[in-house]
Amino acid sequence: MSGFLDARPRVGYFYTGKDSNQLIKEQVNKKIVKDYKAQPIVISESSSVYDGICTLFLEDVGTLFVVNNMGHLAGVVSRKDLLRAALGKQNLTDIPISIIMTRMPNIITCTAEESLLEAAKKLIDYQIDSLPVVRAVQNGNRTVFEVIGRVTKTTITKGFVEFGNEVTI
Amino acid sequence: MSGFLDARPRVGYFYTGKDSNQLIKEQVNKKIVKDYKAQPIVISESSSVYDGICTLFLEDVGTLFVVNNMGHLAGVVSRKDLLRAALGKQNLTDIPISIIMTRMPNIITCTAEESLLEAAKKLIDYQIDSLPVVRAVQNGNRTVFEVIGRVTKTTITKGFVEFGNEVTI
């Protein structure tokens, strides 16, 4: 039923010892990244900063994931990175996006199996807006990452709203 | 105690009729904007786009609130507004920020007394990153707004993490 009372044959209902704090924690921990992740917006490492800005507006996202020619995660570019680049005097079509991106292995990622709570903590702790959801792949003796989704503060905000609207146990 | 059981003199414990969904909803609704809002970062209406970009980086925020010479909310400028302006060929110190801002009355706001859930819903429904927390003030026969805080998706993400860490009733 509610999680507070449990039933045992020949005993009847008994108090499970959980208070509502614990139940809420359990509910929060049940939310898994794979059920909430959005589509990742990726751009090729060989694109220009100008291409990046266009993609950002066209796809209406805050962060782009940069992939190499094998399709593996190479970097992350934020709106602030693009804004900083746009302030310079250079022609934006001449600057490769790979120059301004945050590069592997300095990228904070999450997996589809992680809890949404773990992902939310990473967003806060590392002061970032977006996490690529990745799957590790062996490439010879190196581990590389395929991008299979994104978790942003928007994702978490939607999760929060869901709590207030309807929670199913 | 937990909210599920309540006590009455001479009766003992009884089931309150609330299930854990309802209790979680109650917990979510108890979070009020005033307990979570961050400092607003404001900029004068007479500033340039270049000033705006500098403030954005210096204060490390995603959205600036623009105030008029009376200190009342006049507009909102996002990273995307600034990025769009930076793509143009004009000198950014020559463009007034009031040209690129979203202007009152087209600004979605919230009050300090609203629930964090209401604020989160506005962020999702209107697809925005930040809400100014405002206080209405009468100025002659016009209602104007003072900016007293901000609620962003970061604020909501912190609220979500708090749920997973510790909830007090």
The pLDDT assigned to A168 comes to: 46
Whether the per-residue pLDDT at B58 is higher than 80: the answer is yes
Q: Which listed CATH number (1.10.3210.10, 3.90.1150.10, 3.10.580.10, 3.40.710.10) goes with A31-166?
A: 3.10.580.10
Lowest mean pLDDT among A24-28, B71-75, B81-85: A24-28
Which residues in chain A have their CB less than 8 angstroms from residue B28's CB? Answer: 160, 163-164
The pLDDT assigned to A1 comes to: 46
Give the Cα separation of B113 and A96 in Å (integer). Answer: 47
Whether the per-residue pLDDT at B168 is higher than 60: the answer is no
The pLDDT assigned to B17 comes to: 66
The pLDDT assigned to A147 comes to: 97
- Inter-residue contact B124 to B156 (CB < 8 Å): no
> Are B154 and A20 inside 8 Å of each other by CB?
no
The pLDDT assigned to B54 comes to: 96
The pLDDT assigned to B20 comes to: 67
> Are B157 and A153 inside 8 Å of each other by CB?
yes
Mean pLDDT of chain A: 89
Lowest mean pLDDT among A70-79, A125-134, B19-28, B144-153: B19-28
Split at pLDDT 50, 70, 90, the class of B8 is confident
Question: Which two structure tokens, joined as six digits, stand for B164?
Answer: 């997973």
> Are B20 and A20 inside 8 Å of each other by CB?
yes
Whether the per-residue pLDDT at A85 is higher than 90: the answer is yes
> In Å, how far is A33's CA from the nearest CA of chain B?
14
Name the β-bridge partners of A77.
A64
Which distant-in-sequence residues (6+ apart) come within 8 Å of B135 by Cβ?
B111, B112, B145, B146, B148
- Inter-residue contact A131 to A145 (CB < 8 Å): no
The pLDDT assigned to A68 comes to: 95
The length of chain A is 169
